[in-house]
Structure 1
Amino acid sequence: MTQHVRDVMTTDPMTVEPLTSVQTVARMMRDEDIGAVLVTEGDHLRGLVSDRDLVIRAMAEGGDPDRTTVADACSEDLVTVKPDDDLGLAVRVMREHSIRRVPVVDQGDHPVGIISIGDLAIERDPGSALGDISAARPNR
């Protein structure tokens, strides 16, 4: 049976506007136990900021976390998939672009979800170390 992106994606992803501070986004990630937030303007996807982006593009540069915005830290050259795409396409996209998370969009650039390498591991290889780690409860 063919699986689709919608079958394993995380729905209702967290979103922020481009001028949101990286400190605010870091707190959201901590509070929601997530590693990425989509950057939107209205209903349009503009970028993705990951926990790694916050460290490498914002904190390591010595910026003020309360004044540095996610527009300064996010990835803007995004590759996306659609909810009805075959799950294999999401795997190929991640491999080809060496990325761990892919925004899921419909009707142009309206974000409806996000699919991660952890989601795929849980679905395709649940007994693997990555599958186990991804399925585990947060260790707070």
Structure 2
Amino acid sequence: MTQHVRDIMTSQLVTVEPQASVTSVAQKMRDEDIGIVLVIEGDDLRGLVSDRDLVVRALAEGGDPDEKTVASACSDDLVTVTPDEDLDRAVELMREHSIRRLPVVEEGHAVGIVSIGDLAIERDARSALGDISAARPNQ
């Protein structure tokens, strides 16, 4: 049976607007215990920002993180999938673009996200990556 992205995607999204400060986004990630936030402008997906993006694109550049906006740190050249696409297509896109997370978009609006961890749990929950992805986060 073919599985679709909607079968495993995370639909509880954490979003920010492009003008949110780097500090506020980092705090949101900490509070929500997540490593990625979607950047939304109006109803449209503008980009995504990972914890690594914050470090490499914002903090490492110096300056006041309260003054820097997440727009300066987010990835805006996005690869996306729709909820109805096959999981195999999501895997193919992740491999092709060397990415770990794919925003799920329907009619231009973010409706979910699928990660390499989600795929690992679904495909082989007993694999090392599946075990790590299913485990409770470190505190």
Q: Secondary structure at the match of 2:112?
A: strand
What's 1:124 paired with? 123
Q: Does 1:29 align with 2:23?
A: no
- Segments of structure 2 that go 5 or more residues without pairing to the other structure are none
Letter aligned with residue 13 of structure 1: L
Letter aligned with residue 132 of structure 1: D
What's 1:63 paired with? 63
Q: Secondary structure at the match of 1:65?
A: coil
What's 2:78 paired with? 78
Distance 1:34 1:85 in 2: 25
Q: How many Å apart are 1:74 and its aligned residue?
A: 0.2
Structure 1 runs, 4 residues or longer, greater than 3 Å off: none
Residues 1-140 of structure 1 aligned to structure 2 (within 5 Å): 1-107=1-107, 109-140=108-139
- State the TM-score, normalizing by the size of structure 2: 0.98
- Segments of structure 1 that go 5 or more residues without pairing to the other structure are none
Cα offsets for 1:79-132 (capped at 9, x unmatched): 10000100001000000000011100001x200001111110111121111111
- State the TM-score, normalizing by the size of structure 1: 0.97
Aligned residues: 139
Moved more, 89-98 or 124-133: 124-133
Distance 2:112 2:101 in 1: 10
Q: Secondary structure at the match of 1:20?
A: coil
What CA RMSD, in Å, does the superposition of the two structures yield over aligned residues?
0.7
Q: How many Å apart are 1:12 and its aligned residue?
A: 2.5
Q: How many Å apart are 1:65 and its aligned residue?
A: 1.1
Query: What is the identity percentage for the equivalent residue pairs of Structure 1 and Structure 2?
Result: 75
